Structure 1
Amino acid sequence: MSDQLMDAGLRSAQDQLRKLLASPAGTGRPGRSALIRAGLLVAVEAIDKVRAHLDDDESDEEHAVYAIVAASVAADLALPEPAVAGAVLELCGDPANDVSAATPAKADPAVVEAVRAWLLRVTVHYTLPKSGPVTRTVQLYYGADETGARSREVRDEISRDDVPEDARERAIRRGIEEATYQIYPRRA
């Protein structure tokens, strides 16, 4: 299903929910009607958050990085990628970004603990030369045992538009061609 089709579906559902909220209260039990209206309001607000998040180009890049981490960890731990993706979002996602609160299901606590035990650190490094391709390198440190930790790099060329805004700004204004972010563990 295309992103445009999904966005149109979200917009349509949101419009229908708003129409229901604008209609007069039902003739059923008053407590039940209030509960239904509250549920509809929560659904509308969740769709608002999801649509705003989908419109945010930076969130596309964040989710691309989370997908790289999830695919790598899922393969290492022989777990289903969707379950690991939820755990990665919970562990690495920005707690100030409340779009995750709009997602209906929480990650399986057992999977979160397995990922937490496996991952040691995840960094994302962007190289932004004045000319030429921009490179994103996701580096995972994982699986510490008696022989030490291992690491893996996933390097991709990406569009300058996909680089986080602060890194682009530093490259343009100050000539700083590299930026590194630690996404796990989150820094306080």
Structure 2
Amino acid sequence: MAVVRPGSRRVPRALRDLPVLTDPKDGLTDHRRLVVVGAHRDLSAVLTRLLRADRLDIEVAHVQRPWQAGHARSAAATRVPLVRDETGTVITDAAYWLPQEGQRTIRGEAIVDDEPLFDGEATAVRIEPLTTMPGLRAAVLSGRMRPKRWISGRAAQLGTTGALVVRDGEPVSRPARRSAFYRHTEGWLRV
């Protein structure tokens, strides 16, 4: 077991006897269980590395608050759906399709599995991974950024004239004309 601590986060007392990996590129696959101390983007970075290394057999715990550390050490792991995009980047909290700079809406079409999410214009779309099948859910957001209606499915796809993609708080550098988030064929072992 090892602690993955990107950045300068403090390692909780209950985990201080474990080896600490400060660079998520090194040593991830040398341990049976990883405890990620940090934000969802840190957890997503670790899962993306494990996915690309074909090592989804490694158990992963996420600690955002010190009181979660004991659970991260001793709880059993269960396999849950892993949601990724077409580039192989994992999301663990939420992804967004947002209008390009200077635009008020996204123009195009989005579907979840075979069900239309929108066709024409939308203010924004939120995509969230689920801990159960079918794997994810998506909703068009109102002007106040509230979900209108959730649709669950295996995949959410967008074809557009241009949209900004944000994964777990991290914006992609360029607008996209196509984007997809979907449940990977194998889930991850969540503690």
Q: Which structure's relative contact order is higher, taking Cα pairs within 8 Å and 6+ residues apart? A: 2
User: Does the alignment reach a TM-score above 0.5?
Assistant: no
Q: Normalising TM by the smaller chain, what interval?
A: under 0.3
TM-score, structure 2 length as denominator? 0.27
Give the TM-score taking structure 1 as reference length.
Answer: 0.28
